[in-house]
Amino acid sequence: MRTVLPDNFMSVFGGLIGLDIRYLVNIETIGNGCLVDCDSLTRFDLSALRNLYAIGEGFMAGCSEVKVLDLRGLYALYSIGYFSFTMLNRLDTIFIGDVDWSHKVVGDSCFEGAGYYNGSMGTIYADTVELGNKFKEKFPNLSNWFVEVM
């Protein structure tokens, strides 16, 4: 049986400032439009979702206050839908750890507007510079971002 977060899960949830998903470790799919416009959320950690295979279109679009995004541990992730992680205007830090993003399928416009208030710049923390650069290649909207070794 597949475990799925349904389409539009917690979208337009303006007062949400934190979300603990550590106990949702068996989620395999996040539906389209989940966590859209949760404009009070400041940090989001997906690292516990080791079985996550697919993220639907528009995931976290418009979560303009998110400053830190943790994508470590997403080894099983195969695809990210169009317009996911868009308009994260205050985003300044992304953690990817040792995950190789070169084989993952990503839709157009992911991370569009990321770090807008920081001059479209931020820092990607990876285990190696090579992994960080592969991540930037997958997401052209992060081309101005720096890569730091953790």
Q: Which residues of 44-59 are buried (b: 16+ CB within 10 A; e: fewer)?
A: bbbbbbebbebbbbbb
pLDDT tens, position by position, 69-113: 999 999 999 999 999 999 999 999 999 999 999 899 999 999 999
Q: How confident is the model at residue 22 (pLDDT cuts 50, 70, 90)?
A: confident
Say how many domains are in the chain: 1
Q: Do 28 and 4 touch, CB atoms closer than 8 A?
A: yes
* Mean pLDDT to the nearest integer, 116-121: 90
Q: Do 55 and 80 touch, CB atoms closer than 8 A?
A: yes
Q: Say what the pLDDT of residue 78 is.
A: 95
Say what the pTM is: 0.92
Order across the sheet with 146-149: list the strands: 43-45, 68-70, 93-97, 123-126, 146-149
Position 2 pLDDT exceeds 70: no
| Structural domain boundaries enclosing 51 | 1-150
Q: Which residues, 6+ apart, have CB-to-CB distance to 23 below 8 Å?
A: none
